[in-house]
Every structure is written in structure tokens, then in C-alpha cells.
A = this chain, B = another copy of it.
Amino acid sequence: MGIRFDYNNVLDAAVGREHGLTLKQLEGLSKQAARLHETYIRKIRESGKIGFFDLPYDKALANRVNKLAREIRGNCDTFVVLGIGGSALGPICVHTALRHYYHNFDSAARGKDPRLFVVDNSDPELIASLLDIIDLKKTVFNVISKSGTTPETMTQFMVFFEQVASKLGKAGIAKRFVATTDESKGFLRRLADEYGLATLPIPDNVGGRFSEMTAVGLLPAAVSGVNINQLLAGAAEMDKACSNPNLMQNPAYLNAAIHYLLDTKKGKSISVMMPYSNALRDIADWYRQLWAESLGKKFDQKGNIIHAGQTPVKALGATDQHSQVQLYAEGPNDKIINFIEVENFRRKCSIPKVFKSLPELDFMTGSDMGQLLNYELAATEFALTQANRPNVRFTIDKVTPQNIGGLLYLFEVQTAFAGGLYGIDAFDQPGVEEGKKATNALMGRGTKADKEKSRQVAQYLKGKKIKPVQC
């Protein structure tokens, strides 16, 4: 497929000894990589413990999704995802990449495809504003939650459910809501059965941030007109490259190893994802969850306290050259930068020579905007490398469903493999439990544990001795 991975600029030859890796150092991980491939990656994959690896091959699911998507498309002009985290970031990034950039803004731009909104917050201004602009009779809501206990999603479901019920009656419910949830258990499953909603499954062995190629991501994509078969085909093809036990030939393992070594040996505690393409900007946001939530862990698998985890940062080229590159070039040398380059843009936009009185600007003209954008990438890569800042580059020949599927799959395998290198569990998220418990307690759930938590929060608030500065 049309993706290349260039890692020259993490090597000492490019960025010097202090900040770069030797080729020997990298190759030195080959044995460990081969071992991890056998004893970790193959094991969690073949045992069925971790399910994302095999999602690209689920033709039955794709058919089921396409069928439901056709029905929904005949039944709405707007599709609203109620979901957060992994249920939101995948649908958003695929939509931004593969639909018209102003799809939601303009009916001519989107043609017959419905608008797609993803409501991923419990902000009343966001939700009330959305209600202003949708016609409930022409909207389908996709509630996404594995368990049905996510407060943001379930409260949104309540709000929109009441709106639909009061305006379209009970009969409207089954027509206006579909649920993506656990096959057999949980609150959302019970509600879907009770109200006769169409449903699609979230497999038990796929966590939220790895769920883009389950129904979670596929239904919104298919409804808004993305060819999900191509998306999955691209992921399946990438699976070949990413199943290679040879570290130096496997882009996912290799970039994981690069990040791991730069983090642990060279103090690169930040991983920047910087596509030079507006269409790919939200892939950086999706990656941000994947990398942070998978690798940001207090304990390793043996129970040692390690506080692992690079901080992922999303950036956009060339835009952020005018915002972040000053820091990347001159600030602390604590980053590894992932560039993504698009070789051929889907649209042309040539730069005409119009200002005859200013020949000084002529050098900017004659080429295409895409050429300019790629020059900017090359120039920034050059400048950062000169300043000894390690960076890698993914080049994709064009933004297509295949390449997007491939790229997401690559980053998923990279993350899983990085978990192996760090010796941590990349598939749990214990660190969000404390906040969840406190939220439930503050909302008044009222179990014995909640009451204890409420007491703790009250005590914490009392501990705030210093009055805020008022301005």
C-alpha cells in the first residue's frame, strides 16, 4: 500500500550522539522484539484476549453495518453520535479525513450524505446548540457505550430521548435511535431491547481506543458515505507489514522501539503527531488518546511503580509552524516528532502570478499549494534536524480509505507493542477510576462507598485554605 516510514532523523548520524540513537542500539532490540512478537503480541492475539488485531477481517460485521447504514441514510439528513473518548475520536478522525472538509457546513458539498455530529461532552451549551440546528424528524442518534454507565453519553441519551418521545411519540424512538453496545449485557443493552432499537455489537475484547474498526467507528463512517470495505481492506493490508517479526522491517514495531528508546534513554518524554494536511488533523487527536491512555501507567506488569508514558501532542503543519515550531526548535530537546506527509492531494490549487507590481513575490507563484505545503514540511524537518531534534516521517501517497485504515491500524499495533516494551498493560485505564467515583458520588448516587467518597471530596474542599484571587 502507499505508506512509507522514514526514520533517518532519529539516528545519531542526523541529530548527533546526545539526542540520536545508533543503528546498533535500534537493531539491538531486534531479539527482544522477536521475543515480544512471539510471547506477547501473538499470544494476546491468538488467545483472543485482545481483539482489535482481527477486526479488519470481519466481513459479516461490515455487511451488517452497511445494511443498517443504508436504512439509516434513507431515514435522516443528520446522524448524531452520542459517545465520548474512543467512541468519538475514531468517528471524528475518519470523517475529517474522508469527507468533504466542509461536509457539515454545506448541503451541496455533502450531496446526499447525512451530516455527522459527534457530541462528546456534557456541555449544556453544546447540546442546546445542537438541538437548535437539527430536525428531530430527520435525525438518527447513535448511542455508543459498551456498558451504558458512561455518564456523559447516558445523560445525553436521556436528553435526546425525551425530546424525541415528546415530539414524535414513543413510535419515534425505535426509528430515531440505534445503539452500539455489548452484545448481551449492560444498561444500554437492556434499554435497546426494551425500546426495540436496532443495535450493533462492541466486542468484549476490544477497548474503546482500539474500537474504530468495530461498529463503533464503522457505522458513523458508512452512514456519512465512507467506503468501510476499503477502510478495512487497508487495515488488513497493513496487518501484513505489522505482523513481520523482524523489527527493522515492521513499521509499527520499529516506531514503538524508537519512541521507547528515545523516551527511556534520551529523555524524549513528548510525542508530537504533526500531519501536514487538514484532512489528517484529527488523526493526531485520535492518536493522542491511544498513546496517552495506553501507555500512561503507574505500575508495570510486575507491580513496580514506574509512572510510564510519553505525553502525546497534536499539531498541524504548516499551521503550527506559526505557533509551536519555535519551541520545538529552541526549547528543551524533549520531543520526538512524527510528521505525516501527503504526496498527492485530492484537490489542486495552483498559485497564480497576479501581483505584477511586486516581482519580489513571484517566487511563491507557479506551483501548487500542495507543493508549497510539502516544501514547508521538508524545510521544517530540515531545520529541526539541524537543531538535533529527532523526528520520523510517514508519507502516504494519497488520503484514501485504504491508507487511513492502514495508518490507524499501524498506530494501534505500535501502541500494543510499545506496551510490551515498557512492560505495562496497554489495554486498561485504572487511573480514571478515582475521578469517576468522585463524579458519581457528587451526582448523588448514594451507595455506602459514594457517601465515603463525598466525605473525602468535602474534606478536600475544606482543605483549600487560601482564598482565590478575585479579579
Contacts and interface: CB of A to CB of B under 8 A. Distances in A.
Given A355-B191, A439-B376, A463-B14, A323 B288 contact: yes
B297 A311 contact: no
A331 B358 contact: no
Q: How large is the interface on A (under 10, 10 to 19, 20 to 34, 35 or more residues)?
A: 35 or more
A251 interface: yes
A5 B470 CA distance: 6
A347 interface: yes
B129 A101 contact: yes
Contacts of A358: 187, 190-191
Given A121-B278, A358-B187, A444-B363, A128 B347 contact: yes
Contact of A309 (B331, B351, B387, B466): B331
Contacts of A431: 325-327, 329-330, 387
Given A158-B364, A311-B311, 13 more contacts: A5-B468, A85-B323, A101-B130, A106-B133, A108-B133, A155-B372, A269-B334, A298-B331, A308-B331, A326-B429, A379-B442, A383-B434, A393-B468
A471 interface: yes
A113 to B, nearest CB: 14
How many copies of this chain sit in the oligomeric assembly?
Answer: 2
Contact of A190 (B240, B311, B357): B357
A207 to B, nearest CB: 12
A309 to B, nearest CB: 3
Interface string A96-134: 000011101110110000000000111111111110110
Interface stretch (A38-46, A159-167, A213-221, A225-233): A159-167
Given A129-B347, A335-B311, A355-B191, A372 B470 contact: no
11 contacts: A5-B471, A105-B133, A123-B369, A124-B368, A187-B361, A248-B469, A269-B269, A292-B331, A375-B442, A393-B468, A395-B468
Given A121-B316, A469-B254, A129 B102 contact: yes
